[in-house]
Structure formats: structure tokens, C-alpha cells
Structure 1
Amino acid sequence: MNKKQFNNIAKALSDPRRLEILKVIAESGEISCGTIADRFPVGQSTVSHHLKLLADSGLVSVRREGQHGFYSANPDIFEEYIKELQEVIFNSDSKRDMVE
């Protein structure tokens, strides 16, 4: 995992609403943006913004079907992030440069 992805994931996980959205995606397997938006008291554009940050970080993948996006979680990326985070915090001085 490179520094940019590490920091993008940290940013994506820093917002409570994005964490809620990620949990919904992980529990659903695959879910549309519209269905996600229906579960939260915010506009679809706000949900789309959160989904973009989650997708840019690699925590979720998006499959397009016409104008509709279907999102699924990437647990392997999350596991890799957790390992890197443990290295940054507990083990290796050489990994401390991952944090901006």
C-alpha cells in the first residue's frame, strides 16, 4: 500500500457518516447509491460525495449499469490498511512516513 492510498483510507474512515455507509455496503454485498441514500437523512448528492471518497480510497468498488452505480466493499483493502496502521503505530519507524 502506498502513502497516498493509506492517507485516502484514513480520510475516508474519519467521517462517522462514511463509516455508517461503509457498514451498510459491507452488510449488503452490493447496493445502489439510491438505496444507500434512502437509508440516510441526507441528500443523494451528499451520499454520492461520500461514496466517491470511499471508492477513491479503494475501500469500495463500483460497478456501473447505465447511470446507476452499485457498490461493494473490498475487505482485502481494509485488512491491508489495518496491517499498515499497526506497523505505523506499533512496530516500525520506517513506516512512520506513511502519515502526512
Structure 2
Amino acid sequence: MSALEESQSPTSVDLSDLEQRAKIFAALSDPTRLRIVELLTTRAEMSGSEVAHHLGISLALFCHHSKILAEAGLLQIRREGQTKFNSLNEALLRECFGRLTLS
């Protein structure tokens, strides 16, 4: 295996669990976290420094918000050396929002 390290963020979360879905929506309820998610929809992955720079926020603030997004399963983090690369768990987003469609 390469020197790359995959984070322990879940790639799939059982969305039948209401508490988990509430955690996902709570993570998305903050404007800064929504901006992070929207930015990452335009890129395959970005380092924390890149995200912070694009959004005009400090790296520390990005780290705070990325932890919440990762704990909800929305953000996947890959480490390469000392750099952490962030990407969205797009399958989880699709599944979560897909449950909200009205019949």
C-alpha cells in the first residue's frame, strides 16, 4: 500500500437512523460549513489550506468546521505526508437529500 492514509470517516452511514440524519443536517446548518460543502462540490479534493484560502477564513476555523463535517460522515479526509486532503462523501449527500423528495 502507498504512503497515503485514509481517514476513519465512514464512507456510508445508515440513514435509517434518525439521529444520524439529524447530525448530518445539524452539520449543514452552519453557513461556513455550507460554504465548505458547496466549494468541495466543485473540486475532487482540496487541502485545508486551499479551502481556507478560497473562503477567506483561517485554517483553524476550517479545521473546526471540517471536524464537524467529518464526524457527520460528510467529509472524507486523506492524509499525504503532513497534508490532509478533503473531499465530500457525495453518496451520503445524495442519499440523505434523496430521502426528502416528495411523492
TM-score interval (norm. to shorter) = 0.7 to 0.9
Q: Distance in 1 between matches of 2:23 and 2:82?
A: 25
Give ranges in structure 1 of 5+ residues lacking alignment: 92-100
1:42 to 45, 57, 69: 57
- The one-letter code of the counterpart of 1:81 is C
Cross-structure match for 1:6 = 21
Structure 1 residues 48-80: Cα deviation after superposition (integer angstroms, max 9, x where no partner):
111111111111211011221101111110112
Bigger radius of gyration among the two = 1
- The one-letter code of the counterpart of 1:40 is L
Structure having the larger proportion of residues in helix: 1
Q: Percent identity?
A: 33
Give ranges in structure 2 of 5+ residues lacking alignment: 1-14
Q: Distance in 1 between matches of 2:29 and 2:79?
A: 26
Cross-structure match for 2:84 = 69
1:24 to 39, 42, 55: 39
Query: What RMSD in Å do the two structures reach over aligned CA positions?
Result: 1.8
Q: If the length of structure 2 is used for normalisation, what is the TM-score?
A: 0.75
Q: If the length of structure 1 is used for normalisation, what is the TM-score?
A: 0.77
Aligned length: 88
Q: Distance in 2 between matches of 1:30 and 1:41?
A: 18
